[in-house]
């Protein structure tokens, strides 16, 4: 199941990236993250014969949402701050995972609770998707125009900066 569905699910990276380049990062990220809780619910509550298919759907949505978040984490910051941005993203992912596991541990009181709790906790992905909608759209924009310099000013190369001669 992990190999077959994972091979299909990982394609979510490519699909989300291509769609984001055509439609926009915010909306594509929102859709992938908003559909994730439904995919989680289906996986835990669907018929047994569909587990491989539903696992693939779950991974597809997860990978698609993650690729958009990673793209925005690098596109929205000036070059001088992109390393810090990537580190902060890794920290937030770790804290989010730890918080989710802590909440799951606190809420699980008896066997079988996981089937109810994991899809419920996955609603946090919907919240993340909604937050993406308030971010600036970066599709079809140059990195210099999106993030600017360290003070937030746009930095566009001029002929003098590039050394080109007219």
Tens of pLDDT, residue by residue over 119-137, are 999 999 999 999 999 998 8
pLDDT in tens, 45-97: 989 889 888 999 999 999 999 999 998 888 888 878 888 989 999 999 999 99
Q: Give CA angle at 69 (11, 16), nearest 5°.
A: 30
Q: Express as a percent the part of the chain with pLDDT over 90.
A: 45
Q: Name the residue among 65, 51, 56 with its Cα closest to residue 13.
A: 65
Contacts of 55 (CB under 8 A, 6+ apart): 1, 2, 5, 6, 9, 43
Q: What number of CA atoms fall less than 13 Å from residue 74's CA on the CB side?
A: 8
SS3 call for 47 = coil
Domains and CATH numbers, the chain: 2-134 (1.20.1250.20)
């Amino acid at each position: 199941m992990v190999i077959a569905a994972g091979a299909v699910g990982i394609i979510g990276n490519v699909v989300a990236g291509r769609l984001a380049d055509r439609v926009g990062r915010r909306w594509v990220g929102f859709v992938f993250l908003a559909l994730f809780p439904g995919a989680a619910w289906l996986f835990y509550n669907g018929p047994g014969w569909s587990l491989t298919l539903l696992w693939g759907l779950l991974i597809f949505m997860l990978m698609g949402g993650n690729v958009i978040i990673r793209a925005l984490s690098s596109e929205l910051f000036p070059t001088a701050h992109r390393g810090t941005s990537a580190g902060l993203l890794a920290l937030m992912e770790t804290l989010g995972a730890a918080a989710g596991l802590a909440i799951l541990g606190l809420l699980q009181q008896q066997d079988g609770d996981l089937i109810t709790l994991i899809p419920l906790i996955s609603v946090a992905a919907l919240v993340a998707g909604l937050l993406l909608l308030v971010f600036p759209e970066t599709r079809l924009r140059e990195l210099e125009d999106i993030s600017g310099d360290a003070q937030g000013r746009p930095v566009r190369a001029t002929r003098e900066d590039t050394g080109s001669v007219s």
